[in-house]
Amino acid sequence: MPLTIAHLGPAGTYAEQAALAYADWYSQRTQQATPLLCPCPSIAQALQSTAAGHTQIAVSPVENSIEGSVSVTLDTLWQLDILQIQQALVLPIEHVLIAQGKTLQTIQAVYSHPQPLGQCQAWLKQTLPQATLVPTTSTTDALQYLDEEGTIAAIASEHAAQLYQLPILQRSIQDHPDNCTRFWMVSRKDSQLHISVPQNSPIYTSLAFSLPANVPGALLQPLKIFNDRHINLSRIESRPSKRSLGEYVFFVDAEAALDTRFFQSALDELASHTEVLKVFGSYPLLQMDESSTV
């Protein structure tokens, strides 16, 4: 049976491009059948599909270089204790403006997922100040709103435009040329899926914790634990605990492998200074180029 991969659909989304890149990498590494892609209506549902055992891997965006973290991925992973991160990959993201019209002046509204709308906000403000911005569930979903008159445009990928045979009005509209998104490949903790990776791949460990009390200096001691062991934290951020105002969950990416003695000692000490501590996994980071995205 081929590997099954859940992702935000329909076909043509950036999550599908990440899934395709991972599927190609997986096939080359394992010499197994090409994985089966399973589009889902939302990012949360893709993760829930894997948690329920309907798919073996969920591909979920976690961070964009312009817009920052994807909160639904962090929140869902915190809620679903059965999931673990297997791998991460970084893909370059280039947005295109798709419309049936011939000129930018006719566009009255631009549809897309909130992330691309945010990643192109400066370009939109300068180039299409007259246009209303309308969020959709995915970049592919935005394409259904295009009209023949060219009053509605969509932001998506060139791959999506080619897939649905739609005209591109302008390319590379993201606010920064080096725009990229990091995706997590997530499986169940009881999964037997283990793939060897190149030895030079950097290893990260992601975890999250809540604090027993919201008092001054409460976060200082957990961070000091990593500092004392010279463990670099490449990302740390807070998300609302959803229990009460002012309570937070802290998400951390550490540049260290989970199975090292010094990191295990850090976790042991960290457990005594946190209310809830969850380790999402230790995983390699794969850097994909543009040719790997489709």
In order of start, what are the domains of the chain with their CATH numbers? 4-92+180-194 (3.40.190.10), 96-170 (3.40.190.10), 203-284 (3.30.70.260)
Q: How many other C-beta atoms lie within 10 A of the C-beta of residue 184?
A: 28
Sequence letter at residue 128? L
Read off the tokens for 121: 């906000």
Q: Which residues contact 41 (CB under 8 A, 6 or more apart)?
A: 8, 9, 137
Query: How confident is the model at residue 292, as a pLDDT?
Result: 45
Query: How confident is the model at residue 288, as a pLDDT?
Result: 73
CA geometry: angle at 64 spanning 95 and 147, to 5°? Answer: 30
Query: How confident is the model at residue 213, as a pLDDT?
Result: 78
| CA distance to 106, 174, 223, 268, per residue, from 277 (Å) | 53, 37, 14, 10
Query: How confident is the model at residue 291, as a pLDDT?
Result: 46
Query: How confident is the model at residue 29, as a pLDDT?
Result: 84
Instruction: Give tens-digit pLDDT for 82-116.
Output: 999 999 999 999 999 999 998 999 999 999 999 99
| CA distance to 20, 76, 231, per residue, from 53 (Å) | 20, 16, 34
Instruction: Give tens-digit pLDDT for 13-34.
Output: 999 999 999 999 889 888 888 9
Question: Which residues face 210 on adjacent strands?
Answer: 249, 276
Torsion of CA 108, 110, 114, 116, to 10 degrees: -140
Read off the tokens for 120: 């192109």
For 258, the 3-state DSSP assignment is: coil
Q: Which stretches in the chain have pLDDT values below 50?
A: 291-294
Whole-angstrom distance, CA of residue 52 vs CA of residue 82: 9
Query: How confident is the model at residue 244, as a pLDDT?
Result: 80
Q: How far is CA 78 from the centre of its chain?
A: 15
- The whole-model pTM stands at 0.91
